[in-house]
Amino acid sequence: MTWRIFISDRIHEDGLARLREAEDVTEVVLKPGLTAAELARELAQGYHALVVRSRTKVTRELLEAAPALRVVGRAGVGVDNIDLEAARERGIVVVNAPEATTDAVAEHTLALLFAVARHIPQADASMKAGRWEKKAFMGVELAGKTLGIIGVGRIGAAVARRARGLGMQTLGYDPYLSAEALAARGVEPVTDLAALLARSDVVSVHVPLTPETRGLLNAAAFARIKPGAIVLSTARGGVIDEEALLAALEDGRVAGAGLDVFEHEPPGATRLVTHPRVVATPHVAAQTREAQARVARDIADEVLAALRGRPLRWRVV
């Protein structure tokens, strides 16, 4: 059998080449930027695979409009933009590429931490405005500080490795991992989230957005956080209650935040985004040349394996 593949978000040329060179693939169509209705009309024409990144929302309605669809490939880690239950009901395989962006996201997490701890964006803006405000940007050192990691999967563990190289103590909270597994990933196991928040000078979030994790860091959590802590998130918007974080910044409970993800994207110039002690980036943690080439190759291989009925490395559904 031969296959038709539709790609609704841009992916690196390496992945496109793998799909186009496959002998059993007759058509690979790349059309980014379509509306939901336009994409539904395209998929109704008999495509067997759909490849998306985070922009495309793979809803129940979209899946119902695609009678030939066999596999959805998420070029990246998070699958909160895909209706997994609807895919499961229709027998559609969902795969992702969870390993390709690990280094990029871990590095960006540390970049945000340095930027917040040393006020780098503010100091740079001051210099570009022709000012020399040396006394205005008193920072804090990371060596000797405690980093609390919420979610110690691939990325959380990679952040921990890098933080230990900076002389930081690393704590880890992950209810899906045993104490032994957490210790093997280089963090001191903490079984209670409140205890991690109370002990950590820096709190970094690395969990997917699920019903259980939505609003995980809420007003109650910020009430327990160590005064003067820094909060980081390169995970998913919605895990942090943004109003609660803003309140904690305003009352000084949280010293600063580095955020790459937001509940609504793009968020616009909200009070949180424009807060003077927030460093905000537009969901770019995985945006390196190396990571995007790897993720495109990985998802191309996984989609082809799914179409061919071969074993899968990263099956979500």
Catalytic sites, residue numbers = 236, 265, 283
Indicate the residue type of 15.
Answer: G
CA dist 152 and 174 (Å) reads: 6
Q: Give the CA distances from residue 248 to residues 16, 231, 238, 307, in Å, rounded to whole numbers and listed in that order.
A: 45, 10, 16, 49
Residue with the two structure tokens 């038709």 = 4
Residue 220: half-sphere exposure toward Cβ, Cα within 13 Å: 5
CA dist 317 and 71 (Å) reads: 10
The burial class, CB within 10 Å (0-12 / 13-18 / 19+), for 296 is: buried
- Rounded to 5 degrees, what are φ and ψ at 261? -135, 150
Q: Give the CA distances from residue 209 to residues 112, 123, 218, 224, 289, in Å, rounded to whole numbers and listed in that order.
A: 20, 33, 14, 22, 26
CA dist 104 and 287 (Å) reads: 7
Nearest by Cα to 222 from 192, 189, 245, 206: 245
